[in-house]
Amino acid sequence: MGVVRKRRGHKRSSFLIIKKVLSMQECTGSKDPFLCQTEDLFPLPRFRFNLDHTNTVRRSIEIQILFLISVIFIELNFQAQSAANFIIERCYPCENVPNQKINYSVNPKTFSHPQVLDVTLITPIPLGDQLKFIMIIDLENTIGVKSWQRLVKLEDDFCRAMHSYMGSFAYQMETAMGIQPRGVCPIPKGHYHAVNYTADYSLMRLQAFPFGRLRLTIKYLEKSTKDILLCTITLVTNKH
């Protein structure tokens, strides 16, 4: 069961913490049931409840239980989906970021599995942890007026992002483009090309993508200057 803890004397922004009760017997006879919990799961925005009113306390607990059920349902739904069904429709530079220092392009040559791509990377500088990797994932909303719904924004050091999110997919593509040794980071400056590359999206470490049409915005941000050196948008279809 999920219960919430009331934080006292906390002057900064406060949170309700979802807790997991290991033994409900420990709460028996306690005047404050919100003190009886253990193990943080994740923070939520603060909600204010009148803890002196029994019905309000009961209702707040019910709300948290419903929330946990929703989270479990969403998590199971996302686990059932993967990037293995990706088909890249198009990849193009962000229009609002002109004069990009790094040139990266993906040209789809087929639109079925396995997908065949031509990939080009031209960089005048090594690509390493002097850069921040940013990926924004949006899902197309087809109900009513079509629009894009933000799902998640990921930010990490460049090399760690390559290993954590792309994994073997990036290593295989680097090998096809002539980048050696396998998995090297920083990636040396140079001109790299892969022609008729057969993409295996199941090799991506990040797999929890919903079905539908996705928009992936990828940026390389130089930490020292805050300049955006690369910004691309990739439209992807993820089918059942």
Per-residue pLDDT reduced to its tens digit, 118-165: 999 999 999 999 999 999 999 999 888 889 999 999 999 999 999 999
Of residues 116, 54, 91, the one with CA closest to residue 214: 91
Reported pTM: 0.66
Whether 108 and 196 have beta carbons less than 8 Å apart is answered as no
CATH class, range 85-238: mainly beta
pLDDT of residue 81: 64
Any idea where the domains of the chain sit in the sequence? 2-79, 85-238
Least confident segment among 32-41, 86-95, 143-152, 210-219: 32-41
**pLDDT (tens digit per residue) in 18-59:** 333 333 333 444 444 333 433 333 333 333 444 445 565 565
